Amino acid sequence: MSAADATEAVTRACQEEWARVVATLTRRFGDLDIAEEAAAEAFATAVARWPADGVPPRPGAWLTTTATRKAIDRIRRENNRGDKHKEAQMLSHNDPPEPPGALDDDRLRLIFTCCHPALAMQARVALTLRLVAGLTVPQIARAFLVPETTIGQRITRAKAKITAARIPYRVPSADDLPARAGGVLAVLYLVFNEGYLATGPGTDPVRHDLTAEAIRLTRLTRALLPADGEAAGLLALMLLTQARRTARVSASGELVTLADQDRGTWDAALIAEGHQLVRDRLATQVAPGRYQILAAISAVHTSARDIRDTDWPQVLTLYDQLTRLDPSPVIALNRAIAVAEIDGPQAALAAVDRLADRLVGYHAYHATRADLLRRLGRSHQSRAAYDTAIELAGNTAETAYLTRRRDQLG
């Protein structure tokens, strides 16, 4: 086996098995820090050994076994190993014996611990992306437009607090579930987005493993919370986005915008499931939350035969509804795209320019400006905006698309 094949196998195993390994070790040793470090060491060992030894038949089991040995080695090395063992025993004794095939719930348990309300929201998100999704600190930093050291500190502090304050490692009781679900959904949405617009020069433009993982965990969360409209809304939003995934990147690896996508390649089954979820939520007559509104916007887009057939006034109405719930600059940026379709690029550009101070580090702000300036014939300014967008964009397909659009400017 070549080194490249082995690296590929480790990368795939990391994406598929990381959360299982961390969740299993956390339950066994009662310590997120030990679990994360041992998992990272096991994956590093795989990188070193699989090229020569070959990929084991069950990579997940190999990684869990190796990580467990690494964890035990570390505990033995430490002076306070007696305390660590005692602590681990106390935690595991609080839980009923593990039923066979309980791995999925183990990961959900890990998610609820990472999303505990005693942790700051930003810490919950960073922790979940690191420990559950297996993203690296640089990838998380890019997703949140903050320095790597900030993310590293958030994760370190959050893990220290979980241990010191004894934040439990379990799925919350039925009484606490609805309140705890909101934080989990926010995290899952961010995981989905990281998969859908993957970052890093060496990564695929769409990491289907991450989007699939986010969808799988959202399905699980929704099954636990059948009455939670936002869980249904988020699932619908993810399905309607995922349905367009193959149309979204061209054969040459370039991003294809909604207007240019071949709608015949959209996944009809996912769209049907997403539309059904949106209709079910509308039928409840309960005021929708942000995920339900975003899903409704997606439903409008996926109901149109082409971009001109899109019900833009309906899209704008939904964005207005969303702005009342969440007056964030990113929502305002997306609203401006609908404004461009109704009132033209000049009106949209005015709205976008008002967001300058808050979105100056966000590639989509510059990409949107570049497109509006291009439509207004202001090539020189458009080129400068494309340059900034290309510099900030981390997604390979997006960079390719933006570069071509810039180079087509007259």
Partner 1 sequence: MQYLVSVIDDTAGLATPDEMAAIDVFNGRLEAAGHWVFAGGLAAPGSATVIDNRGGEAMVTDGPFLESKEYLAGFWIIQAADLDVALKLAAEGSRACNRKVEVRPFR
- Between 165 and 227, name the residue whose CB sits nearer to partner 1: 165
249 backbone dihedrals φ, ψ, rounded to 5°? -125, 130
Q: Does 172 engage in binding with partner 1 (CB under 8 A)?
A: yes
The size of the chain, in residues, is: 410
Give the residue, chosen from 120, 145, 165, 286, that forms a contact with partner 1 under the rule CB under 8 A.
165
Q: Does 89 engage in binding with partner 1 (CB under 8 A)?
A: no
Contact pattern from residue 36 through residue 75 relative to partner 1, giving x for each residue in contact according to CB under 8 A and a dash for the rest: ----------------------------------------
CB of 93 to partner 1, least distance (A): 11
Give the residue, chosen from 138, 168, 182, 200, that forms a contact with partner 1 under the rule CB under 8 A.
168
DSSP state of 410: -
Q: Does 176 engage in binding with partner 1 (CB under 8 A)?
A: yes
- Between 179 and 259, name the residue whose CB sits nearer to partner 1: 179
- Between 179 and 227, name the residue whose CB sits nearer to partner 1: 179
Site for partner 1 in 117-146 (CB under 8 A): 118
- Between 2 and 79, name the residue whose CB sits nearer to partner 1: 79
Encode burial over 40-62: b for 16+ CB neighbours within 10 A, e otherwise.
bbbbebbeebbbeeebbeebbeb
- Between 119 and 206, name the residue whose CB sits nearer to partner 1: 119
DSSP state of 99: P
Beta bridge partners of 249: 255
Q: Does 342 engage in binding with partner 1 (CB under 8 A)?
A: no
Q: Does 268 engage in binding with partner 1 (CB under 8 A)?
A: no
Give the residue, chosen from 10, 167, 225, 349, that forms a contact with partner 1 under the rule CB under 8 A.
167
| Residues 302, 271 contacting (CB under 8 angstroms) | yes
Give how far the C-alpha of residue 145 lies from the chain's centroid of Cα atoms, to the nearest Å. 14
CB of 172 to partner 1, least distance (A): 7
Q: Does 166 engage in binding with partner 1 (CB under 8 A)?
A: yes
CB of 118 to partner 1, least distance (A): 6
Cα–Cα dist 230/378, whole Å: 42
| Residues 393, 402 contacting (CB under 8 angstroms) | yes
CB of 304 to partner 1, least distance (A): 47
Q: Does 183 engage in binding with partner 1 (CB under 8 A)?
A: no
Output 163-170 pairs: Cβ under 8 A, ≥24 positions apart.
Answer: 163/31, 163/32, 163/33, 165/118, 167/113, 167/116, 167/118, 167/119, 168/94, 168/113, 169/26, 169/27, 169/30, 169/91, 169/95, 169/109, 169/110, 169/113, 170/94, 170/95, 170/109, 170/112, 170/113
Angle (nearest 5°) at CA 404 between 402 and 408: 115
Cα–Cα dist 106/326, whole Å: 33
Q: Does 225 engage in binding with partner 1 (CB under 8 A)?
A: no
| Residues 292, 233 contacting (CB under 8 angstroms) | yes
Binding residues with partner 1: total (CB under 8 A):
10
- Between 119 and 300, name the residue whose CB sits nearer to partner 1: 119
Q: Does 116 engage in binding with partner 1 (CB under 8 A)?
A: yes
Q: Does 95 engage in binding with partner 1 (CB under 8 A)?
A: no
CB of 222 to partner 1, least distance (A): 23
Q: Which residues bind partner 1 (CB under 8 A)?
A: 94, 116, 118, 164-168, 172, 176
